[in-house]
Chain A
Amino acid sequence: NAGVTQTPKFQVLKTGQSMTLQCAQDMNHNSMYWYRQDPGMGLRLIYYSASEGTTDKGEVPNGYNVSRLNKREFSLRLESAAPSQTSVYFCASSRRPGTSGIYEQYFGPGTRLTVT
């Protein structure tokens, strides 16, 4: 049981380049999330997907797009990278809203992205 996996672990991009961050979970969770973490700013929600087939904007969606490919996979795309997008990106997943019990979000190991 791998939990939440992310690829790549590290990436350096030049301004204007594009890339896709991949995330997959094997816990049969319905909900998935993308966050960015900057020093002193905590975790900021970029996009989330309550269930397969739906996606919604979070706090900081500008400059990003997402795809919920299937129940397991949720990708984040940077179409034209900017230095302001230098950050650590975390993917997370949780059980479906409305189910009883703890709504714990399980995080992936993170992707450290640098845009020069």
Chain B
Amino acid sequence: GENVEQHPSTLSVQEGDSAVIKCTYSDSASNYFPWYKQELGKRPQLIIDIRSNVGEKKDQRIAVTLNKTAKHFSLHITETQPEDSAVYFCAAILSGGGFKTIFGAGTRLFVKA
């Protein structure tokens, strides 16, 4: 069945450094790839997304890249701040298939001040 693998499971960086989280998906028909941030005790919220016809997208300090051939996509956070500390989830969605959504297992990011 469909699967999304996410690495690393835990990531610790110094404030100001960059953080990179990587995901691999199995269903080549997936065409929409969002990233969600979940702070402790709160609900997940969308931070950025990318469609299969786009290779890279940037929004201030965060960017996402997609390699459809390799079925890889990555989240890049630059100039990390303590408030970036949270769990980040990637997901792969087949938008023509009723939006069945498969999430990765999550990456817990710690940004040390």
Number of A-B pairs whose CB atoms are under 8 Å?
68
Interface size class of A (residues with CB under 8 A): 20 to 34
Q: Does A31 have its Cβ within 8 Å of any Cβ on chain B?
A: yes
Q: Return B11 CB to nearest CB of chain A, in Å.
A: 15
Asked if B100 and A58 sit within 8 Å, CB to CB, the answer is yes
Q: Mark B1-31, 1 if CB is under 8 A from A, else 0.
A: 1100010010000000000000000000000
Q: Mark A27-46, 1 if CB is under 8 A from B, else 0.
A: 00001010100001111110
Asked if A103 and B105 sit within 8 Å, CB to CB, the answer is no
Asked if B99 and A103 sit within 8 Å, CB to CB, the answer is yes
**Complex Cα gap A97–B45 (Å):** 19
**Residues of chain B lying within 8 A (CB to CB) of residue A42:** 6, 89, 103-106
Contact flag A48-B105 (CB < 8 Å), given A107-B44, A108-B43: no
Which residue of A35, A48, A108, A109 contacts B99 across the interface (Cβ within 8 Å)? A48
**Complex Cα gap A80–B49 (Å):** 38
Which residue of A43, A56, A102, A108 contacts B103 across the interface (Cβ within 8 Å)? A43
**Complex Cα gap A17–B60 (Å):** 49
Q: Which residue of A lies closest to B43 (CB)?
A: A107
Q: Does B78 have its Cβ within 8 Å of any Cβ on chain A?
A: no
**B interface with A by C-beta (< 8 Å):** 1-2, 6, 9, 32, 34, 43-46, 49, 89, 91, 93, 95-106
**19 CB-based A-B contacts, threshold 8 Å:** A31-B98, A33-B99, A35-B103, A40-B106, A42-B103, A43-B44, A43-B91, A45-B102, A48-B98, A48-B100, A56-B98, A90-B44, A97-B95, A97-B97, A103-B49, A103-B95, A104-B46, A105-B34, A107-B44
